[in-house]
Structure formats: structure tokens, C-alpha cells
Amino acid sequence: MAGRGNRTNGAAARALGRIRGLSVFLLLISGVISLLALTGSFYMLQIYDRALVSGSIPTLAAISVLAIGLYVFQGLFDIIRAQLLVRIGARIDRRLAPIAHRVVVDMPRLGYSTSEALERGRDVDTIRGFFGSQGPVAIFDLPWMPLFLIFVYILHPTLGALTIGGAFFLAILAVLTELRTRRWSQATLAATVERNAIADSNARNAEVLKAMGFAGRAVARFAGANERHLELQTRTSDITGTYGAVSRVTRMLLQSAILGLAAYLTIRGELSAGAIIAASIASARAMAPIDLAIGNWKNIVAARGAWRRVRETVEVLENQPEPMRLPAPVASLKVEGVTVAAPATGRVILSDVSFEVRAGNAVGIIGPSGGGKSTLARALTGVWPVLRGAIRLDDADLSQWSDEDRGAHVGYLPQDVALLDATVEENIARLDPRPSPAAIVEAARAAAVHEMIVRLPEGYRTPLGPMGTAISGGQRQRLGLARALYGKPFLVVLDEPNANLDPEGEAALTAAIEGVKARGGIVIVIAHRPSALQACDLIGVIQRGRLTGFGPKEQILNPKAPAQPAPADAAAGAPAAPAAPEPVRARQARKLPAAASARPGRAAR
């Protein structure tokens, strides 16, 4: 497994390397196409200066057949280049989309919105779409412009000077387009992210908006963000459109000027009649790549930014070492001076929390809302990073396990249960490609949800729909519990597990906790309702980010009872709160530059 992660990242790096090699090949093909593009100019020279002068039909036929053959070859090379570009885009998507999606999965837990996270995946789509457009064609044709400039110069130095001057002017237009659109393109991206974030938020809260009658105000809020997005996009398009129009007019004007100058030189006897048409065709072909590049500049800028972010993502992921595989934990959970902050704001929520739990125990975590109970659950499961301190399973810090290895030893039922858009079987088995049917049924029975599942239309193969909306809230919570219990994990963390349960469900929850204890596991239960604490042996009290109490359940819940010595399997401390540390997002930004770069939506404001 450790090697698999490195192989994935190495494959991404190799994909980028192969693309560089294919770029050289495409550049050579573009050179061949450019040479063949001179066919029209040579054909006109031969028609006017040889076939018409000699009046020979065989000469005309031979020249025409040769020109047709060269045009066919040019078309074949054009097809090869277009197909190669499309396949390069597909290869990038195939190799890098899964890596980019790893960043997409990580970003929300670090405080980013869903829209910001999905933007990483869209970067790969942008690159793939770019390779199927005319932008790469312009880029690969640009280095071969001198071929046409030299050809026109050979026809006559004055024509060559005029063509070079026109090319220089168009190049200045391209530079101005880059300078003028760079700032607006970044602002447009920021506005796009902001608009998509509002749209995503409105969609997730559709029921509340409808029921409480403020859907209109939500739509108005989206309309304001959309208006800002349209204004910036219009301004960017105006710039590229204006420079594109100037470029096209300049190219047509230059072509006409070359025709007129060539005619003048012909009248003076310095140029042949065929050279007039040949110079016009060659000069137009020389200007075409610059004109095409300016017309596609918005796509070029977008693809360049997306490529930079994807490349940085790949480089960072490759530099992350894969931990060695450790044996499954069987003895203890130790929380040592843990401090946790909210990733989005950097505000400290938990301060120097310490305790120890031995195998076969269940701990209930209680306290007022907003005290940090759910934050502790996220830290114990590795969802939120720890600023200071350590969380250890059998004395090994959570960072010493890869995500997949750690996940095999951890079960987690979050406060807001969200099921995948998949079948019941796939949800319980955590998308295991080779799940054990016996283990799935065992987890379902442990959560007392097997009977409910088999009554569904397709049993365990029943699709649950987006967010599991095909079933009730209580059923989702019990399926989430079954998912947490799948594979008999050593540590099971349950955040408000009985929030949507009826008495039968609460009895099943108690039995499930007892089952984990009986097999030597550890259960952490975050609870407000006392019924969830029935199977707990120890109780921890969290208030204002501090662990203010930890010990046997009877002693914590009934302070007037005679004090008993704390068990050997538990210890707690709550030192003074430290100063607010650097926000998690700022630290993670240095680890994931592609995923945690400056938030464009915030930067625009």
C-alpha cells in the first residue's frame, strides 16, 4: 500500500515527462505542416511564371498533380497533429484527475468551500479542453513563422521588410493582450468561485429556503454575485475581442498592402506576376499563428494557470513520504496535550487536551454546545490536523499511518450523516472493491439495521441517491453506524449517534457499543442525551475548549458520590489555553499549493 501511493505520484510525474517528449514531436510535425503550407505559394509561382509563359498543358497538369499530393500530405499531418493533441489531453485527464481529486477531497476539511475544492478538478478539465482547441495549434506554429518571412524576403527584400514589420506589430498586440487580461482573468476566476459557492449553498439548503420563504432573497444574493462575475467576464472578453479584431484587420490590411506593393514592384520589373500571389499567400500564412493566438488568448491564459496549479499539486504529492505499514492497534488510545484550531479561521477550539483509554472501554464526551466536542471527534479521526500534541494508537501517532491504513482501524459516525450516492452495500463497505458480504451483514446486524435493509426494494443493492435522501434521517444514522462498524475497527468515534434514533435504535446503539468493547475495541461517544452513555465506562467533560473532568462515569455524573481512585486506563489534564497559533489553512497552504492557494473568492473582496 505504501508503494502504491508512490507509484501513483510517480506515474503523474512520468505523464508530465511524456507530454514534454510528445511536445517536441508535435513541434516537428508542425514544422513539416508549415513547409507543406508553402505549396500554394510555389504553385502560384509555377503557374504564372512557367505554365502560362510556356503554354504547356502537360506542365500545368504535372504541377497541379504535385500540388494536390502535397496538400494531401499536409492534411494527413494536420489530422495526426489534431488527434495527438486530443489524446494528450485525455492522457493528462486520465493520469492527473484522480490526483487532483485527492486534493478536492482534502480541501473542505481544511476550511474551503465545496466550490473552491471542485475548482481543482475543473483545472484538469480546462487543460484537456485546451488541447482540443486551436490554442496549441497556434503555439506550435509560431516557431515556424520565420520560414514564411524568409520566403517573402527571398521574393523581394522590400516585401520581406513589410511582412516582418506587420509580424512585429501583431506580436506587440499579443503582449498587450497578455498584460491587459492577466489581472482581469484572475478576478474573473475569483468571481466564478464566489458565484458557484453561493449556488452550492442554496442547493444544499433548498428545503429551508422553500419552507421559510426566503428563496427569493437567496436568488437575489446569487444574482448579485452572478452580476459581478458577468461584469468581469465581459471586461475580459472585451479586451481579448478588441485586440483580436485589431489583429484580424491588421492582417487583412497587411495582406492587401503586400499585394499592392508587389504589383508596384512588378510594374517596375522587379518582381514576376506569380510572385504577387505567392507573396500574399505566404505573408498571410506567416501572420496566421499570431492572429490565432490572440483570438484564443483567454483559453491560453486559463490553461496556463490550470497547468501551473496541477503541476504544483503533483510535485507536492510526490514529496509526501508514504508511512511504513504498522500492525493493527490493540491496546490503547492516547491523547497528549492536543490543541486544535478551526481550519477556516485559525481560532483555537481545543486547548491541551490529554487523556488515555485502554482497550475494551467506552468514553462518553459531554459538555455544552460549542465547547469543542465535535472538534475532538474530528481530531481523533484525523479529519482536522492537530496543531500541537499527539494522538496515538498503541503509542504511534496518527500521522504514522497512511489514510487507508488508519481508516481500516477507525470507524466514524459524524454528527451530520452523509451517505454516498451508491448502494447500501457500497456505503457500508466504504466502497471496498472486494467487500466481504459476511462482514457487511455483520456490521449491519451490529447496528440493528439488517432487517430494515432486506425490506428495501433491492435489499443491500438498493441505490440510496444523492446524500442518501432515499431513506429517512434515522435510517441514514443507523446505516452510518453500520459503516463505522464495518471491518471491526479498533477505534470507533460516534458524534451524537442517537440524535435521530427512536428507543429501538438507541437500544441497538447501546448493544453496538457493548459489542465493540467486548471484542477489545475503544468507543468515543459524543453525546447530549444521557441514553447514549449507558454503555460508557468513562466520562470526559469539555467546556470552552478544555477538558475539565475525566474519570469513571459514576464519579463524573454524580459528583456527590464518594470519590474513587481514577482507573489506570485513564488520565486527564487541562493546562492553561495557549495563544492562538497560526491558522491551519495557512500551514496547509504550504503543503498543498494547488489546493490551498490564496482563496480567489476572498482575494477579490
pLDDT of residue 345: 78
Q: What is the DSSP string of 357-412?
A: EETT-EEEEE--TTSSHHHHHHHHTTSS--SEEEEEETTEEGGGS-HHHHHHHEEE
Question: What is the separation of C-alpha 419 from the centre of its chain, rounded to a whole number of angstroms?
Answer: 21
Same domain for 272 and 360, yes or no, is no
The residues pairing with 540 across neighbouring beta strands, listed in sequence order, are: 365, 550
Same domain for 312 and 394, yes or no, is no
Q: Which of 522, 538, 535 is nearest to 570 (CA)?
A: 538
Q: Which domain-ending residue is among 265, 296, 318? A: 318
Domain contains 126: yes
Which residues contact residue 557 at a Cβ distance below 8 angstroms, ignoring those fewer than 6 apart?
533, 539
| Domain count across the chain | 2
Same domain for 314 and 336, yes or no, is no
| CATH code for the domain in which residue 277 is found | 1.20.1560.10
Q: Which domain-ending residue is among 269, 295, 318? A: 318
Provide the phi-psi class of 85: left if phi over 0, else alpha when psi is between -120 and 50, else beta.
alpha
456 CB neighbour count, 10 Å cutoff: 17
Domain contains 579: no
Domain contains 135: yes
Domain contains 591: no
Is the CB of residue 152 less than 8 Å from the CB of residue 286?
Answer: yes
Predicted confidence (pLDDT) at residue 306 exceeds the cutoff of 60: yes
Phi, psi at residue 39, to the nearest 5°?
-55, -45
d(CA 26, CA 240): 27
Same domain for 296 and 345, yes or no, is no
Question: What's the whole-number average pLDDT of the chain?
Answer: 81
Is the CB of residue 328 less than 8 Å from the CB of residue 490?
Answer: yes
- Highest-pLDDT range among 117-121, 227-231, 559-563: 227-231
Same domain for 310 and 368, yes or no, is no
Domain contains 391: yes
Predicted confidence (pLDDT) at residue 130 exceeds the cutoff of 50: yes
* Sheet of strand 538-543: strand arrangement: 410-413, 491-495, 522-526, 362-366, 538-543, 546-552
Alpha-carbon distance values, 39 to 36, 302, 363 (Å): 5, 35, 82
Give tens-digit pLDDT for 25-44. 888 999 999 899 889 888 88
d(CA 153, CA 290): 19
Helices first, then strands: H and E counts in the chain = 22, 11
pLDDT of residue 79: 92
pLDDT of residue 317: 65
| CATH code for the domain in which residue 552 is found | 3.40.50.300
Same domain for 369 and 485, yes or no, is yes
Same domain for 367 and 429, yes or no, is yes
Predicted confidence (pLDDT) at residue 467 exceeds the cutoff of 80: no
Predicted confidence (pLDDT) at residue 520 exceeds the cutoff of 90: yes
d(CA 118, CA 116): 6
d(CA 90, CA 83): 11
Same domain for 378 and 402, yes or no, is yes
Which residues contact residue 531 at a Cβ distance below 8 angstroms, ignoring those fewer than 6 apart?
498, 506, 510
H helices of 113-214, where? 114-131, 135-141, 145-155, 157-204, 206-211
pLDDT of residue 595: 37
b/e 412-437 (16+ beta carbons within 10 angstroms → b): bbbeebebeeebbbbbbbbeeeebee
SS3 209: helix
pLDDT above 70 coverage of the chain, percent:
86
Same domain for 260 and 376, yes or no, is no
Alpha-carbon distance values, 254 to 266, 288, 377, 555 (Å): 18, 12, 70, 92
Is the CB of residue 361 less than 8 Å from the CB of residue 517?
Answer: yes
Predicted confidence (pLDDT) at residue 90 exceeds the cutoff of 70: yes
Domain that holds residue 525: 332-574
Give tens-digit pLDDT for 214-251. 888 888 988 888 888 888 888 888 887 888 788 888 88
Domain contains 186: yes
Predicted confidence (pLDDT) at residue 392 exceeds the cutoff of 90: yes
Domain contains 323: no
Same domain for 232 and 342, yes or no, is no
d(CA 176, CA 174): 5
pLDDT of residue 78: 92
Predicted confidence (pLDDT) at residue 14 exceeds the cutoff of 70: no
Same domain for 300 and 409, yes or no, is no
Q: Which of 68, 404, 318, 250 is nearest to 60 (CA)?
A: 68
H helices of 268-370, where? 273-295, 297-318
207 vs 65, higher pLDDT: 65
Predicted confidence (pLDDT) at residue 578 exceeds the cutoff of 50: no
2 vs 105, higher pLDDT: 105
Same domain for 109 and 239, yes or no, is yes
Domain contains 563: yes
**DSSP code of residue 109:** H
d(CA 144, CA 30): 8
pLDDT of residue 139: 87
Mean pLDDT, residues 452-460 taken together = 90
Predicted confidence (pLDDT) at residue 589 exceeds the cutoff of 50: no
Give the pLDDT band of residue 376 (cuts 50, 70, 90): very high
Is the CB of residue 397 less than 8 Å from the CB of residue 409?
Answer: no
Q: Which residue has the cell 476539511?
A: 109
